[in-house]
Structure 1
Amino acid sequence: MTAMPPEMPPPPGDHPRETPGQTSDGAPDHRRVGRALDLFDTDPLMGAGLPYWLPDGATVRHTLEEYVRDLERRAGYRHVYSPVLGKRELYEISGHWSHYSDDMFPPMELGGEQVVLRPSLCPHHALIYRSRTHSYRELPLRIAELGGMYRAERSGVLGGLTRVRSIQLNDAHIFCTPEQAAEEAYGALELIGRAYAALGIRPVRHRLSLPGPGGTGGTGASYVAGPEGMWERAAGVLREALERAGVAYEAEEGEAAFYGPKIDVQIADGAGREATLSTVQVDFHQPERFGLRYIGADGARHRPVMVHRSVIGSMERAMAHLIEVHGGAFPAWLAPTQLTVLPVSAAELAPAAELVRRATDQGVRAELSGPEHGTLGARIRGGRLVPYQTVIGAREAAAGQVALRLRDGRRVPGLPVEELLGRMGGVIAGRTTALWEGAEGK
C-alpha cells in the first residue's frame, strides 16, 4: 500500500457530533467525518492502527462487501476462506520472508514451529490451487477472498483508515495459461471500472509500476530474479491490458511488487495526497516457487500464470475514500439508513411504524424518527444525509399514500405505499449513484 503522511487520528473523546469535520482547506477528512457520523472509532487499549466499526459503519462496510462478492460471482470468481496464520516456511517459499519481513509481525512459537500473521493472501491461494490437479479446460480459475492480513506498520505512518495494521483485503488470484493472462488482466480492469462507477470513485491516474534500480535477484536485491525474461513478459501483459482498455497510464520505476510488475489505480484525498486503491499484478514467480501445474491439451504439465487483482483494495482504505468522496452522503444503495419515517405527532406513530416494518420487509434499511427525538424541523435536519425521508401527518395516514423528500431537495409526489417501496427498491437494487428518476425539482 502507498504510504500516507504521518498523521494520527484524534484522541478518544475528541468526537465532534454535529457537523462532519473537514481538513484545513475545506476538504472532508474521513477521520473526523467518520467519527462525527458514528461510523468507526479507535481505542488505545485496542492499539494504534486497529480501528473498530460502529453499527452504521459496519452496515456500510457489509453492504460494500456483499456488492463486491456479487460482482465477482457474476464475473466467474469462486470464493474461498483461508487462515490468517501460516508457517514461516510458507513465506520463505513465497519470497515474503526475504523481501518483506520488515513489514511482518514477528513469528510466534507454536508446538516447536514458527507461525506468523500473514502479510498477504497469495501464498494461501497458491496452496489452494496446488491442492487439486487442474486441466487446461478449467482455466482460467478465479479464486477470490475477502480476507484478513496484518502488517507491522510504524506508528508514525498510521492514520485513520488509510494506513492500518489489521487489513481486510478484497483479493483474488486468477490461475491461467500464459495466453490467457492479458485477457484476465483486462477483465480485472473492467471490473474495477464497473465498481468505481457504482461507488462514485474517480481515479486520478493509472500507474504501471516497474522494478527500480535495485535490480532483481542476488543478495539484498529488492526484487526476485525469477525465470529468464519474467519481468519483461509480465510488464508486456499489463501494457497490453491497459492499451486494450484504452486507459492512459504512466510507467514508474521502483513501485513494483517484489515478485512482479503491477497496475496501480491511484486515488487522491481532499488534500491531493495520492494512494493506491486497486491493483492488477502478473506473477510468474510464485507459480514457479510453489511448483504449480496444469495438464495441457498435449497431456504434458505446464506452469500457470498467477494474476493478482483487487477491485477495491482494502475495506479500510476504500471506506476512508468513500467517506471523503461523499462526505457521509453515501449512494442510496450503500447508505446505512436509506429511509427515515417522521410522524408529525404521537397520533401518527402507529402508521409510521407500519411503514418502517413494510419497508424493512422489502429490504430497505428504514428507521422511525418520532416526536421524542425533537421537533419535526430538527428531525428533518438530523436526517439530512439519509437518501429518502417521508413525513407522516394526519392527511398522509388517512390517505394511505406516501410522498418522499430526497436528500438533494427534490420531491416524489404521493404514491401508494407498495408502489413507492417498489420504486425505491428498484433504485437501491440498481446500485448506482442516482437517487431517483422523475422526481420534482426543488
Structure 2
Amino acid sequence: MSNDHRRLGRELDLFDSDPLVGAGLPLWLPGGAAARHEVESYLYELERRAGYQHVYSPALGKRRMYEMSGHWHNFADDMFPPMRIGDDELVLRPSMCPHHALIFKARGRSYRDLPLRIAELGQMYRAERSGVLGGLSRVRSIALNDAHIFCPEDQASAEVAGVLRLMREAHEALGMGEVSYQLSLRGPGGKYGGDDASWVRSEELLRGALSKAKISYADARGEAAFYGPKIDVLVADPAGRSWAMSTIQIDYHQPERFNLEFAGADGRRHRPVMVHRSLAGSMERLFGHLIEVHAGAFPVWYSPVQLAVLPVGADQDDAASSFAADALAAGLRAESVHDGSIGARIRDAAGRKIPYIGMIGSREAPDGLVALRLRDGRQLDPMPQAEAIALIASIAAARSQELLP
C-alpha cells in the first residue's frame, strides 16, 4: 500500500524502531517529534480555552490503586506485571483515570467547582501481544490525549455534547478525513463493573447526546469499557480495518470505588459522574492515521519542516542562510540546504513533502526576494522575503489544509 504509515514514517524520518528497545515501543525522530509537538500544543490550547485544567501524574501506581479502580480484576491481562520495590508492588499504568480520580479527591469539592475538567497528555502502557503490534497503530507505550470531567449527573449530557463539538473541531483542524461513530455497549459474558441501573443511565446519556448532535452511529455489543458504555470515533486504514481514535465514556463505577464526593447546594454529600474523553486518542495511533490520510504531506501547521530555503548557487549561500534564520525567528520550522546540485536539492525537498521551497538566485538575492515553489508544483513570482514569511505564517496560524489563502 503506497500510503502505509510504516513505510512512509521511515522514509520521511518520522519514527523508527529498534530491537534493543523492543516491539511496540516506537522511537520518535526529530521530524515526527516536531509534528507531534505542534499537534500536542494545539490540543492543549483547545482544551485550555474549553475550561480544562492540565495536570501531570506518574506512569506508575501501586497495585492496590488498580484493585480499587477495577482494572486489576477486569483488565489485568492487558497490564504489565507488578514490580516489587520494598514492600510495594508498582504497576505501569494502563490508563490515567485512577490518577485523575485521586486528583479530584485530593481537595474538598463543592458543586460550585463543577464541572471539573482535568486533562493530561500522559504516558501509559499496555502489554499487547507481539502478534497484534504494528507500526504506530498498535503499540505498548502510549501517549494519550486524555481528560476526565467530574460533574453532577444533570450536567453530564451537556458535557458530552461539549466534547463532541471539540472533537469535530480538532478532527477538522487535523484533516483526519472521514470518521464514523459507534456506541460501544455491554455484551454477554464480559467483565463489567457497576450495577445495571448505572449502565442504563450511562447509555441513555450517550444516546441522547448523539441524537441532539444529529450524529448517526451503530451499536456495538461487547465493546464497552469494563466501567461503562462509550462513544467511539472510528477511522479506517488503507486495508479497510477500523481503529478507535477518539472516545467518550460515562462512568459511575470508579467514583463509587474511590468514594468521590462533592458538597451539594443542599449541604449534603453527592457522588459525581466521571466522563472519560480523548479528543484525538493516542499520539501513536493518531499519527499512524494522519500519515496515511495525507500520504505524509501534512498540513502546513504541523509539517515537520515548513520551509526549505535553497540557494541556486554558492554566491547566494549567505542570503539563503539569513532568510532561513529570519523564518526561524518568526516561528516557522525552516532550514537552508546548500549541498548538492540545485535539481537534487529540489527533488529531495519534494520527496520530504516540505510545503514550501524558497529559491534564492542571482536575481532574487540583491533585492531581498525569494521565489516560492509549492509542494503541489505551483510556483509564485519572486516576492519580498518578509512577505513570504508572513504568507506561510498566516497559513499555519489558520490551520488551513491549503497551501495558499
Q: Please classify the TM superposition score into its range, dividing by the shorter chain length.
A: over 0.9
Distance 1:297 1:323, change over 3 A: same
Listed one character per residue, the Cα deviations across residues 8-36 of structure 1 (whole Å, up to 9, x for unaligned) are: xxxxxxxxxxxxxxx2xxx4111111111
Listed one character per residue, the Cα deviations across residues 380-424 of structure 1 (whole Å, up to 9, x for unaligned) are: 111111111111001100122223111112233332222221222
The alignment partner of 2:245 has SS state of strand
Listed one character per residue, the Cα deviations across residues 159-191 of structure 1 (whole Å, up to 9, x for unaligned) are: 111111111111000011111101111111111
Q: Give the TM-score, by structure 2 length.
A: 0.98
2:152 paired with 1:198: no
Find the partner of 2:267 among 299, 304, 316.
299
2:42 paired with 1:67: yes
Question: Which structure 2 residues correspond to residues 339-378 of structure 1 after superposition, within 5 A?
Answer: 339-370=307-338, 372=339, 374-378=340-344
1:99 is matched with 74
Hey, which bits of structure 1, 4+ residues long, moved more than 6 A?
none
The alignment partner of 1:280 has SS state of strand
Measure how far apart 1:108 and its partner are. Answer: 1.0
The alignment partner of 1:404 has SS state of strand
The alignment partner of 2:246 has SS state of strand
| In structure 2, C-alpha distance between the alignment counterparts of 1:44 and 1:228, rounded to whole Å | 46
| In structure 2, C-alpha distance between the alignment counterparts of 1:402 and 1:240, rounded to whole Å | 55
| In structure 2, C-alpha distance between the alignment counterparts of 1:199 and 1:357, rounded to whole Å | 27
Percent identity for Structure 1 against Structure 2: 59
Listed one character per residue, the Cα deviations across residues 13-69 of structure 1 (whole Å, up to 9, x for unaligned) are: xxxxxxxxxx2xxx4111111111111111111111111111111111111111111
1:188 is matched with 163
What is the RMSD of the two structures over their aligned residues, measured on CA atoms? 1.1
Number of positions where the alignment pairs a residue of Structure 1 with one of Structure 2: 403
2:245 is matched with 277
* One-letter amino acid of the counterpart of residue 290, structure 2: L
| In structure 2, C-alpha distance between the alignment counterparts of 1:432 and 1:419, rounded to whole Å | 18
2:109 is matched with 134
8 Å CA contact 1:203, 1:265 repeated in 2: no
8 Å CA contact 1:40, 1:54 repeated in 2: yes
| In structure 2, C-alpha distance between the alignment counterparts of 1:401 and 1:113, rounded to whole Å | 65
2:310 paired with 1:335: no
* One-letter amino acid of the counterpart of residue 323, structure 1: I
* One-letter amino acid of the counterpart of residue 431, structure 1: R
Find the partner of 1:118 among 81, 93, 102.
93
Distance 1:414 1:198, change over 3 A: same
Find the partner of 2:281 among 313, 323, 328.
313
2:51 paired with 1:82: no
| In structure 1, C-alpha distance between the alignment counterparts of 2:395 and 2:71, rounded to whole Å | 45
Q: Give the TM-score, by structure 1 length.
A: 0.89
8 Å CA contact 2:177, 2:293 repeated in 1: no
The alignment partner of 2:363 has SS state of helix
8 Å CA contact 1:197, 1:432 repeated in 2: no
8 Å CA contact 1:280, 1:309 repeated in 2: yes
2:198 paired with 1:223: no
| In structure 2, C-alpha distance between the alignment counterparts of 1:346 and 1:274, rounded to whole Å | 51
| Consecutive unaligned residues in structure 1, runs of 5 or more | 1-22, 215-220, 438-442
| Higher mean C-alpha displacement, 395-404 vs 97-106 | 395-404
